[in-house]
Every structure is written in C-alpha cells, then in structure tokens.
Amino acid sequence: MASDGAFHNLLLLAVLLCLALTSSVGGEASRRFWIENDTFMKDGAPFQIVGGDVHYFRIVPEYWKDRLLRAKALGLNTIQTYVPWNLHEPQPQSWKFNGFADLESYLRLAQKLGMLVMLRVGPYICGEWDLGGFPPWLLTIEPALKLRSSDSTYLSLVGRWWGVLLPKVAPLLYRNGGPVIMVQIENEFGSFGDDKNYLHYLVQLARRYLGDDIVLYTTDGGAMGNLKNGSISQDDVFAAVDFETGSNPWPIFRLQKKYNLPGKSAPLTSEFYTGWLTHWGESMATTDATSTAKALKTILCRNGSAVLYMAHGGTNFGFYSGANTGQDEYDYKPDLTSYDYDAPIKEHGDVHNLKYKALRSVIHECIGTPLHPLPSDIEKANYGLVKLQKVASLFDIIDNISDPLKGVVSEHPLYMEQIGQMFGFLLYISEYQGKLPSSILSIPKVHDRAQVFLSCSTDSVRNPRYAGAIERWSSKTLEIPNLGCPANTSLYILVENMGRINYGPYIFDRKGILSPIQIDGVTLCHWKMYPLTFNSLDNLPKIQLVTQMPDVRASKVSIIHGHSEKKFQESSFYLNEPEFYEGHFHIDSESEIKDTFISFRGWNKGVVFVNNFNIGRFWPARGPQCALYVPGPILRPGDNVIVIFELHGPNPELTVNLVTDPDFTCGPKQ
C-alpha cells in the first residue's frame, strides 16, 4: 500500500506539473494583439493606444530610460519609433547595431518599463532625417535607383536590409513575449506615389520574417487621394491616418474605414501633431498647449487611439538633420539641429511646461491613467564663458583633415557621394586665367552651399581670398575679382552638404556640385577634390582635430600680385575664412557633470564638436536656434574640449557661453 500511495503521489505530481506547463504555455499563447470589430484587442480585451514617438537615434543612449519614463508619466502606454536605415548600414553591408544604433536594447528597455512599441521600419521614414532614412550610398548606384518604387535593384537592397533587420525584430514581437505590437510598412507613401507592387513586395517581405499574425500598418494623410494611393487593405494591412491638429478627427476616421477591411478599422491617428518642425531662417514653430490638449481629448474620450508626434523630439546630432523643399528643388529648406518640435517633453527632457501638463490631464481624464508625480527636470549647468583660440585655417591643414585615400582628380567636378563623402564638406580646386577686370562664376547646380575663394597659383600663401557664396536657394552666379595674377588663378570652392531632402518628389538629393562650372561662359576642367573627414556621427571617434592642429598658426599677411600690392584688412580677409577654434573648460567631479547649452551668439555658421562628439550645425546669423544642446553624458570630469569649425568668422571676443537656456531667439527674423 505504501508503494501504491507513493505511486499515486507521483502521478498526482505529474498531473499538476502538466497542468502548470499547460497553463504556462496557454498564458504565453494568450499574448496576442489584433484588430476586431473596429477595436484594438490585446490578450482578449479591448485596448486603446495612447502612444508617442520617441526616437532612439535622437537621444544619447544614457538618456533612453529617462525619456521613456517621462513618456510613461505623461500617461502613454505605447512608444513609436522609426528605424533609420542610414544609421544601421552607413556603408554597404557594414552593419551597426550598437551605441545610438542599439535598437534591440531600446526595445527591450521600453518593455522593461511597461511600454508597448509600434515600430516604423521603413525602408523610407521621412522624419526630418537625412534622405528620409535612406543610406546616401544608394545615390551612387548606376543606373540611378528609383527610390520608393518597384525598381528591381532597389528592392533587392531593401530585401538585403530587411533580411538583417527583421530577424532582430521577430523575437521582440508581442506574441513572442516582446513589446512590438505593430510594424509599419513604408511611411506616408500615398503622398508620394501609387506603386502598389512596391507596397505588396514590402508586405510579403515583412510577413516572411515576422509571420502572418503581426499587425502591419500604413500611415497616410487623412485625405481620399493619400489613402487610395498608400493603403493596402487587400493585403490585410491596417491603414492608420494622420491629419492637422485642428482637424475634426471623426469624419477622417470614417473615411479611414473605407480603406480597411470590414471590422479592421480601429480609429487611430498614428501622428497626432504636438508641434511642428522648423527650418533655418524661420521663427521657431510652436503650438498652443490648450488647443492641442482639446484636440487630443476629442479622440481619446471617444475611444479613439492616438500617437503623439512628437512626445519627445530630441536632437539631430551630427550631420543627420534633413531638409524640405517648396515649389521646386531649389526652394531648399534645411532643418535645425534641434528637433524640439515644441513637444511636451522638451529637447533636454524638461516636462514642467503647460503642454505636458495639459496633455497629461486629458489622458488621465479620458483613459483613467493614474496621475503620478511629475518627474524632476534634469539638472543643467551654467559653466560660463569659454575662451577659444584660433587653431588653424582650413587651408593650412587641408592635407591633415582630408583623407588622402579619398582625394580625387577628375576632368569634371564629381558629386560628394561619388567619392565616398556622405556627409559634411568637400573642397573643389581648379585653375583659370583671369584676364578681365572681373569675371562671372556660374554653378547652376550646387547642393547646398558653396563658399568661393581665390589666390594666385604661384602664390606661396595658403590662405586664399574670399570672393563670396553661391547657395542652392538663391543666385547661381557670382562676380569674382581679378587678382592680377602673373599666371593662373586658383579657384577653391568649399561645398557644404546641409542635409538631404527627406520628403516629396526631390528626395534623390545628391550633394556637392552637380553641374559644369563656368568662368565667363567657359567650362572649367581639371578638378581636385578634397573631402573633409569629420563626416558623420558614427565616425567621430576617429577624428583627432585637436592633435592635428596645435602647431599651426595663421598670420596676418600682405599679398603681392604682379605690379600691385593688395593689403587686405583683417576684417575682410579673415571674416569669411573657414577656421578651426579650440576651447577648454574644466569640470571638477562626476557629480558636477550636467546638461548644458553652447550659445553661439556673435558667431556665424559652422559645426561644433565637444569631446570629439558632433553636437551639430550652428547658424545664429540665420536663426532661430542660437544654442546647441550638450547632454551631460558626453561630458567628463576634468578637461573638456570644444572644437568649432566656423565658416565665416567667429564671435569677435572668441568666446562661447555654456548656459542653461536653449535660446531659440536669434537670427534676422527675430
């Protein structure tokens, strides 16, 4: 009997273990997200998406957790983010998934903090990001690709990219225990074209790696033409909408139903605009907190779903900010370094503002999300004035900062991408005979901004004379003086890539000089091209500007040409000369490291590095952004180094101010 009892106990234990395993498997199997009866369903219950875009690539990784917690405290249950192809494949088949590009860690962190994820995998994302997220090496392929189309070469490259990306996403899908509930196909394609075969291909590719259960979605503007071109309901892909904040959402949600399968049209605006983007030369875009909250309430309190674009904008560090156009490709409008977007969570993380509080209150009222105490704002430091010194002229050190392996000689000017220069600057050099009192330089197609310099070819002086600028958005010709050279005149053209177009019909946006260059109607040949190699966020650790320049000092000079001596005043000779400046500031201890802003009031235009990290472009002469955000994690105890590449002339006092204010109030429009 004792043995029988033991047997029965073992049998009972086995049954209990089996039930436990069955329950566990069943519990895992119950993890499901789908759409039914025009309602989002999660684990068998209706679910309302209250989301917000928070882009991992616009935030230093050390602050990912902080920004996500601030989004959660706002009342959000879902994070939406793009995946920029150019960040993850900067060169063909050179994959990056670490640092800023550590997508998997970001998604796992969101889940750890109790957030779901809507993932916008592109391959095109727009997002005011360079080339809409496409890697610029796509622009070098011949014959030229037709981006966002059924072009077979383009599709093969998309297939290769998603073949790397989507297997990383699959384990993080909601049904597999991860946070990803929805995956977006392309982005606002209905505003661009109507190539359904392209969209069908993307759907098939996504399902190959992610399975048939994943909710795929498109996002298009809430108008009939956009939805007709961009939706693919026949592939069981959910069509979400976006629209202006002041629009009445419910007629648009009713229109949305026409482009979804029956019962599959949960009302969702996947871009509810909390603010708007700003270009250089414009006043800072702002939206009213009260009206924004009121518009959100009309959606959420009627059981609609919304994703705030942006919940937190962040920063376009490095050279990754994009650009837009107006009526044609010459009506070029580059984006600011700041992507604050007037979002409720500010660029630097602050939440003690009217918009955050108003949106948080509406979410609480409509959804019942508990009102937790507001997070404390991150401390900022005023480190004060930093004195800089000129380290070198660009022309003094061109051999040091231009990769000799990338330097090119060609009969005709080449575009940047053609010689492997994906971001930043390219210097073009040629010669001509200056016979007239002055000449007309013509560059019909320059992307985006060219500074022109002259010197006599026999001159030993390295510093050419500034002759003016030719800009993509203005005049394409420039009157240049005759220096009276005994032989040829050397022509130097420094071209700045200010960000590739990210939206509209002109996204195939190669950079550099894209046309013949003429002097008085005669085409110039025999060009040397020197790329400046501080060219992208990913390559910044390799740059050693400080160690390359300490022994170089430019001097005031008199230049003698032929029979006349021309003494250029310092104000005219140096004002528009690209130069490097270096400054240092000390932080006593780890505890004193805090966020700060570098104010560039009194400076003109350029790029700044802090501890070899590219903070971004500054242009206070144009505005409206005067100060660039410096996150605390890039600072360090002890000596901190600022290197500025100024294109036109420094603040006369040779100082920058490290302040606590983001300062969006400079430029001629203010």
Q: Which residues are catalytic?
A: 188, 271
Q: How many CB atoms lie within 10 A of CB 389?
A: 11
Give 116-178 as a DSSP string. EEEEE--S---TTBGGGG--GGGGG-SSPP-TTS--HHHHHHHHHHHHHHHHHHGGGBGGGTS
Q: What is the dihedral of CA 249, 254, 256, 258, to 10 degrees?
A: -170
How wide is the angle at C-alpha 81 spanned by C-alphas 79 and 87, nearest 5°?
150
3-class secondary structure per residue, 521-584:
CEECCCEEEEEECCCCHHHHHHCCHHHHCCCCCCCCCCEEECCEEECCCHHHHHCCCCEEEEEE
Residue 119 tokens read as 């993932």
Collapse the DSSP code of 56 into the 3-class scheme (helix H, G, I; strand E, B; otherwise coil) and give the result.
helix
Q: Which residue has the tokens 């903070």?
A: 615
| Single-letter amino acid code for the residue at 347 | E
Closest CA relative to residue 159, chosen from 239, 89, 57? 89
Calpha distance 491→489 (Å, rounded): 6
Closest CA relative to residue 53, chosen from 268, 270, 265, 294? 270
Q: Which residue has the tokens 């917690």?
A: 69
- Please state, in angstroms and as integers, the Cα–Cα distance from residue 323 to each residue in 373, 436, 498, following that order: 38, 39, 8
